[in-house]
Each structure stands twice: as C-alpha cells, then as structure tokens.
Amino acid sequence: MSSILVQVIVGGLLLGAVYALFSSGLTLIWGMMNIVNFAHGDFVMLGMYVAFVVWTLFGVGPLVGAPVAALVLATLGIIVYFGLIRSVMRGPMLAQILGTFGLALLLRYSVFWGFGANFMTLPENLVGGTFDVLGIRIQASRLLAGVVALLVTLGLHLLLTRTSLGSKMLAVAEDSTAAQLMGIRPDSMQAIAWAIAAAATGIAGALIATFFYIAPTVGETLGIVAFVTVSLGGFGSVPGALVAGLLIGVIESVSAYWIGAVYKDIVVYSLFLCFLWFRPQGLMGKT
C-alpha cells in the first residue's frame, strides 16, 4: 500500500471521528425523545463561534474554548427545551420539524447579524500544528478532535448504561408515564438530555473550529453529514454514530482519492441506501 493511500485512510479516519463527534448530540436527542433536531448543524456553528470569541478575547485555544462552548450550549439547550421543545412535542410531527427548523434559521441569521457574513478562522498552530509519523502527516487539531470524539462517545455510553441518571433518562425515553409513576420527572430528565447533547455539540464545534472555516452558514454543510451519520449508526445509538462516522469518513476519502471528489457523495449515499435496504434500523439501532 502506497504511503499516500495510508495518508488518505488516516485522513478519512480522523475526518470520520469528527463526523462522529458532532453527531453524538443529535443521536442522543433522538434516542431520548424521538425528536429530530434540525438546528443541530447550527448548534455546531455556535460552538465554533464561541471558540472564536474565546480566542479573540483571551487568546486561548480549545482547552478553554471547548468547556466554555459546552457551558454556553448546555444553557442554550435547556432554554430551547423549555422554550420550544416542550410545547412542540405536544403538537403534530410537522410542528416538531418546523419548530427546530425555524430555530435553525433564527440561530443562523442572528449570528449573521452579529458577526457578519465574512469567513473567519482560528490560527493554524493553535493546537500544535502538524506532525509526521512514519511519513504520514497528522494534524494535531484533527487528532485532538478524534480523541475527544472517542472520549465523548465513551462518556455518553457510560452515562447512559452505568449511572442512575442514565437509567432514569432511558426510563423516560422508554415510557415517560411509567417513569413518572416511579418518581422520575420526565421534564427534568429531558431537559438534562438536551443540555448534555447541546454541550457535546458545543465541544464538537469548538474543536472543529481549529481546522475548519467559521461562517454563519457552516451548519448547513455539517448538518447534512450529521443526519447521514446518525441514521447509518442507528437513531439513538451513540456507539453506532462513532462507527458510522468513521466508516463514512474513510469511504469518502478513499472514493474521492480513487474515483474523484465529485463522485464521493454518490458512492457514500448509494452504499448508505443499500445498507438501509437491508438494515433500516442502522448499524446499532433498535428495531
């Protein structure tokens, strides 16, 4: 295998880890309350802007930017839950879709208004530049994003399967009336789920900002990938999103290299549709 091909695959894995990172929040919300958050891509965008503001004000990188983004987005997640989601959940499916879609536009154009349409970036060497491993170039910023993706996935998985908070959240997801009879308040559990999902998304945004461009419309570009990742991984499955993200990243990279960049989406989406044909619940989703 040529060293360039190894580079392509390594690049694909790191890209896939990033896909997984910003998809985990979306899959969590779905798993908890069967709501598709169309504003998800714009949550990522907000995380990026928080990282940018933190860097502009204090000159520090994602080590501070990511926790701040997590905090800001978690707060936003709670506000969104009580201000919007709780009411639209009682409405028809269409209201849920349009509600979060409207939220997406509100966030996008607020940022547009506040920061302008210009593209921005964080300095290239904010996270240690690029290093060589046996002739393979690895960007520290992407590696950091990849490692955090693994940690966030592991963290969310442990939270849901090993803690009493996780059990309570899953109980609400399964049957909120029954959970209520057991003394669990569905409202708080779902608000917590939104806070955690939004926080994870904020961290993702803050890390992606270190190697991507920042613009009000960036959520559109990233949002679509998140939806594909989540449905391939299985709606509601956090480890599923990780595997799916890595898979999509590698398939995209290799097909773009071998066949051509304009064909990579054709390859990814036809494989995706074929897969859903045989396994509509996704890689690790429940039937």
Which residues of the chain form contacts with another protein (CB under 8 A)? 4, 7-8, 11-12, 15, 109, 112, 116-121, 124, 130, 137, 139, 142, 211-213, 215-218, 220-222, 225, 252-254, 256-257, 260-262, 264-265
Q: Considering beta carbons, is residue 22 or 30 the nearer one to another protein? A: 22
Q: How far is the CB of 200 from another protein (least distance, A)?
A: 19
Shortest distance in whole angstroms from residue 25 CB to another protein: 17
How far apart are alpha carbons 246 and 244 in whole angstroms? 5
Give DSSP secondary structure letters for 163-226: SHHHHHHHHHHH-HHHHHHTT--HHHHHHHHHHHHHHHHHHHHHHHTTTS-B-TTHHHHHHHHH
Pick the closer one to another protein by CB: 104 or 179: 104
Q: What's the alpha-carbon Rg for the chain, to the nearest Å?
A: 19
Closer to another protein by CB, 108 or 168: give it.
108
Query: Which candidate, 15, 13, 21, places its Cα nearest to that of 199?
Result: 21
Please report the DSSP string for 58-119 in residue order: H---HHHHHHHHHHHHHHHHHHHIIIIIHHHTTS-HHHHHHHHHHHHHHHHHHHHHHH-S--
Q: Rank residues 82 and 112 by Cβ distance to another protein and give the closer one.
A: 112
How near is the Cβ of 98 to another protein at its closest, in Å? 18
Question: Cβ of residue 213: shortest distance to another protein, in angstroms?
Answer: 4
Closest distance to another protein from the beta carbon of 186 (Å): 36
Nearest residue (CB) to another protein, 44 versus 179: 44
